[in-house]
Structure 1
């Protein structure tokens, strides 16, 4: 690789300095990341005509992220997705968490990592975001240290590597919450095509809390146009909000394609599943001179992660991080072009 990493001042939050980092490869394609929430701000890659464009939703300045309520591009922790009744039992003790989704916890509650200021290291061609979360943050046990390492290759592949350790048994589940839109400016993702290597999902109720059942996926994605999978219920579009259990030994977890631009995104991961969210409730506001509000279905989330609510569902693989053990997972986002037929 021959990636260069630069940074510039991007404002302050919570009395701390915030920076915007640019990782640029030898072809000129680049990604931008801020230490506010260890957030992915932009991914700039060419289309079939070699025209560069940003393929995720992001804000042009820090204010957008300070006011965001949709976790746009951010690192999620301590536990991605939902935890029923905002609590769990561990080692004979009941832990009460922050309820921020009715009576449930979503994405770690109000102490979620999306609003934390991360420390950082630049190690040759790696950008490392570091965060210490105190014992009791959000109700979770253990002093937890997290390192999120970003690398950007000459092949336009962004690798996100999570490593963490805690001094107490705890539950941990980290992911990135980017909203993808490969069209660079298109107002929705309905003309994108999606393939997910999964045949089963975690069954969930209307509140998105798992029932404990593993069921065949009612919506299968096999290079399927997303707009064809958006149903109309109670007079409004209803998209996909489901945890897909990835097939073992599949060559990739998911592939997103935009036929008009020719851009593709291939996702590989060490996680056992992926939460597919079509942005049904997307409503964060762009705070710039062309102020407008992000619209539903403007971006698609492909959140690689452990099973939701696993600590309260003995049927699921347990996302326990034993004390002094190392959490070690990755998400790889490879941006490319459709093959010419």
Structure 2
């Protein structure tokens, strides 16, 4: 039976805009708190094998921290998740130049991407629905893009995210969710056992831009086809790990049925027994091992040290607007961009 979605003020942006926090809950004690700034998941409480709840996402206590220099904690990402090389692409014979915010490259939609805007929120049944119009030319992208994102927390312990977009001009679209998870609720994530259903991954150069080919995971630190601790091989003298300063790579999901919903990843924290599974329609999964967290950021009563959170970002491949061999990311007028991902929580041996 659906539980009512409650709401409360979460503060004011620098320009005085009021931001609201919405709380979703289910019959099993799970709660998810989401704000209408950036579509950010600010908290997600899940039980361990003893039934004790812990907040399993990294985040802040106050709005000003999210408005400041946040590393995308919990946010919706767009128009383009991941990197676009040289901050430019050519579409239908015209070159578009985007703002560079990662060296020479464009990352996660730019500094003013979807993670830094106020979304229009509404409650529809047991779903929080967020809408945003990205106007023609915003962050350099062509076309007015109308985006709708919804979050639903089911009694099956799934946080379901649905994304939909339409445009009036051809434009790249690659939306994703950027929560940092820590199933312990504290400490680092190096002992978490990770499984990723991917036979290949996308190797990168020193600027984290794809080299253009796909590489087999067999015999490399990127083989997570059977459960392996995140920290087991992250420090190995591997060129790809050096380029990412750890894991920060797109895995090519094994999807024999194309867009069909499949299980992309499974993560177990052996200490608490908490399990996170990601199901998605997307062809790729960016796995990031919190390499740039250094203890300088703090929230919820603790500082976020090196590798204190991991990201599982369901998406298309990085730099696809410049890589015609990668799955298509161009949305055209008359087409509808739709994708769904599910973050399922359980407990080892039950729940």
1:306 to 316, 320, 338: 316
1:322 to 322, 332, 336: 332
In the alignment of these two chains, the number of paired residues is 336
Q: Which residue of 2 aligns with 1:92?
A: 93
Q: Counterparts of 1:1-341 in structure 2 under 5 Å?
A: 1-13=1-13, 14-185=15-186, 187-217=187-217, 218=220, 219-221=222-224, 222-231=226-235, 238-249=245-256, 251-283=262-294, 285-286=297-298, 290=301, 293-339=303-349
Secondary structure at the aligned position of 1:209 is classed as: coil
State the 1:286 CA deviation.
Answer: 2.0
Secondary structure at the aligned position of 1:231 is classed as: coil
Unpaired segments of 5 or more residues in structure 1? none
User: Which has the larger share of strand?
Assistant: 1
Where do 4+ consecutive residues of structure 1 move more than 4 Å? none
State the 1:325 CA deviation.
Answer: 1.4
User: How far apart, in 1, do the equivalents of 2:253 and 2:26 lie?
Assistant: 31
RMSD: 1.8
State the 1:331 CA deviation.
Answer: 1.2
- Give TM-score, length-normalised by structure 2: 0.92
Q: Please say which of residues 69-78 and 241-250 is displaced more in the overlay.
A: 241-250
User: How far apart, in 1, do the equivalents of 2:54 and 2:318 lie?
Assistant: 33
1:307-332 per-position Cα deviation (integer Å, ceiling 9, x unaligned): 11111012211211111311100110
- Give TM-score, length-normalised by structure 1: 0.94
User: How far apart, in 2, do the equivalents of 1:74 and 1:53 lie?
Assistant: 20
**Cα contact 1:246–1:272 (8 A) shared by 2:** yes
User: How far apart, in 2, do the equivalents of 1:165 and 1:179 lie?
Assistant: 28
**Cα contact 2:262–2:281 (8 A) shared by 1:** no
User: How far apart, in 2, do the equivalents of 1:271 and 1:100 lie?
Assistant: 25
**Cα contact 2:79–2:108 (8 A) shared by 1:** yes
1:183-232 per-position Cα deviation (integer Å, ceiling 9, x unaligned): 012x1000100000001011211111011111112311121011102115
